[in-house]
Chain A
Amino acid sequence: MNESRKSTHHHRNGKGHRIRRWFRHNKTMILICFVAGLAVAALGAFGIYRLRSIEAERHVTAGNSVNVGSAYRNILYDGQKYQYNAQITTILYAGIDSEGKLQPGVTYTDAPRADSISLVIMDKKNKKMTIMALNRDLMTEVRRYTLSGKDRGTYVTHLGFAYTYGEGGEVSCENLREAVSNLLGGIPINEYVVTNRSSMSFINNLVGGVTVTVPNNDLAADYPELQQGAVVTLDDSNIEAYIRSRDSDTDFSNEGRIARQQSYITSYIGQFQTLVQEDLSGTWDRMQEMDEFVQTSITKNKYLNLVNLLNAVDFTAGDYYIPAGEDEAGELHDEFYVDEAALQDKVIDLFYTAV
């Protein structure tokens, strides 16, 4: 009995008893604290989950997740306020240095390079279309990734690498879109179209072969039909030569090639406008056939709107703009440094209105 009492007494005055008593008296507060703790933990876990989700999204489509913001809408340039022309639609085009189907891989950083990059600017307000050709060696901010797609931030390199750093699919396209947008002060690039060498014949054949007036005799020796002044409908036998060939041993042979290219594009646009006016839906259906050789953000609905827009704007050979700049011999490859002031002037001219 005494032993029992002693024992009871010991418990009542012991540390364990005090703790239990404290718990009994503070049940409500403990419950509140417990619930609050759970809530904090849950919120914390949710926050971490969201952060990881956002990060994961970024890993997959970092280029796509970049918010260009609205800073481009109203700008101050040389003391003058300008407003972005919201009736402009821009389409980024890239010709990729590859053949066969354009298929994304599962790893990053080893996609083909963008050999040729241009921006089609359709201005509904001024009823004008301009094509801005961007040198693939233009040195500008490009986002890079690890092989698994982790965003490593941007650095200055060849614009053509923007596609390479992606997975050869949507991320590559978006990465290029971001690089061009940033180069041009953050203006929105509404759509993109990417093709490769395997697409060339199809594009030409879509309009039944482009009929051009040959501007020079550069190819006459190898292609007798391509005499200066001749009116020729290009086909699979000469389309690549007409567009791409030049004699690299001859000074300024590039100028002759550019003249051929300008004649090609000017004719093509005219023929395409006629084609879609005659058979809008059929043209779309024919374009489906080369789906595997094209990557684009353009859907059928957008296509219909863009065709309407195309028919509402004028394009002449003079609306073809190549930013000025300087070539420099890089450590391994040529680098092109654009004349930033001149480019900025052109951006103002093409995209903005003084207010």
Chain B
Amino acid sequence: MRKLTAALCAAAMAVSMAVTALAAPSITTIAPETLTEVTTSVAIPEGKTVVVQAPVPASYKSKEAAEVVTKLNDDTTTITTAEILSVLKVDTTKEIKTESGTVIDPTVYEPITKFAELAITDGATAEYSVDGKVVSVKATVTVEALKDLTTEDLKNIVLMQIDPETGEVYFIEISEDDFDPATGKITATFPCMGPFTVMEKAA
């Protein structure tokens, strides 16, 4: 019998609108957003830009990449890290290293954000390569979910990126120097364009 009390709704609704009125630029999401200081390994065609955006799995050549991104971002389904790695055919019995060479066990990490993706766009389409060439990107991304983390906390964070063309998986560590706890900004080198999520090691 969980229902409402109209008095409260009524009172509150009007107030709520007042508060809305006070608000300025909207807070939007706790997923990775905004991209600055972008450097790419391949020149981006004129009229197109590199952005961070909500994923477009339908544009991925890798069905496995599309599947895990769709599942993780779907509010009605759950998928564990082990399941993600299984779909992507990552052999967790072998040693897995981050891009900077640290050996990690990715199964002990779990996502703290949904997937966002790096894409090349003209505003209408999403592409992940230039003339068939893989595009690596060094960029700064703002991640609300990382705000206020300590240096120790940061050691438990990795980015997991998936190549949307091949389904290959990359793990990227964030160095202390490339992290601003006040804003959640991280600067990282992504081996390719495509979807990525932020993962935290379970305590």
Contact = CB atoms under 8 A, between A and B. Distances in A.
Interface of A: 91, 93-95, 97, 105-107, 109-110, 113, 115-118, 120, 129, 131, 133-137, 144, 146-148, 150, 152, 155-158, 160-161, 164-165, 168, 191, 193, 195, 199-200, 203, 206-207, 243-244, 246, 254, 257-258, 261-262, 264-265, 268-269, 272-273, 275-276, 283-284, 287-288, 290-291, 294-303, 306-307, 310, 315, 320, 322, 327, 330-334, 336
B163 to A, nearest CB: 22
A202 to B, nearest CB: 9
A161 B183 CA distance: 15
A147 B72 contact: yes
B4 A118 contact: no
Contacts of B23: 115, 135-137, 334
A131 B8 CA distance: 10
Interface string B100-144: 000000000011111000000000000000000000000000101
Interface residues of B, number: 56
Contacts of B200: 146, 152
A106 B182 CA distance: 30
Given A113-B27, A206-B6, A333-B26, 12 more contacts: A93-B16, A94-B12, A110-B29, A120-B8, A120-B11, A193-B4, A193-B12, A265-B11, A268-B14, A269-B11, A296-B8, A303-B4
A261 B112 contact: no
B3 A298 contact: yes
Instruction: Determine chain A's interface SS by DSSP, over half rule.
Output: mixed
A279 B111 CA distance: 50
Contact of B110 (A94, A146, A246, A330): A146
B5 A307 contact: yes
Contacts of B30: 109-110, 144, 161, 164-165
B7 A269 contact: yes
Contacts of B28: 113, 333
Contact of A257 (B6, B21, B111): B21
A294 B20 contact: no
B120 to A, nearest CB: 23
B78 A158 contact: no
Given A146-B110, A246-B21, A269-B10, A333 B27 contact: yes
B2 interface: yes
A117 B7 contact: no
Nearest to B22: A135
Interface of B: 1-31, 33-34, 72-78, 80, 110-114, 142, 144-145, 147-148, 182-183, 185, 200, 202
Contacts of A115: 16, 19-20, 23
A156 B184 CA distance: 12
28 contacts: A93-B16, A106-B78, A107-B77, A109-B113, A117-B16, A131-B11, A133-B16, A136-B19, A144-B145, A147-B113, A195-B9, A199-B13, A200-B13, A244-B20, A244-B21, A254-B21, A257-B18, A287-B3, A296-B5, A301-B1, A302-B5, A306-B5, A320-B18, A327-B24, A331-B142, A331-B182, A333-B27, A334-B25
Nearest to B31: A110
A147 to B, nearest CB: 5
Nearest to A254: B21
A267 B3 CA distance: 23
A306 B7 CA distance: 9
Nearest to A305: B5
A352 B134 CA distance: 64
A103 B97 CA distance: 40
A203 B10 contact: yes
What are the 4 A-B residue pairs with the smallest beta carbon separation, nearest first? A93-B12, A116-B16, A105-B75, A265-B14
B7 A116 contact: no
A82 B94 CA distance: 63
A180 B145 CA distance: 20
Contacts of B80: 148
B192 to A, nearest CB: 23
A195 B138 CA distance: 42
Contacts of A164: 29-30
Contacts of B7: 269, 272-273, 276, 306-307, 310
B2 A193 contact: no
B114 A137 contact: no
Contacts of B74: 107
Contacts of B1: 299-301
A303 B110 contact: no
Contacts of B33: 332
Contacts of B185: 331
Contacts of B142: 331-332
Contact of A207 (B5, B10, B145, B182): B10
B14 to A, nearest CB: 3
Given A161-B144, A284-B3, A133 B10 contact: no
B110 A147 contact: yes
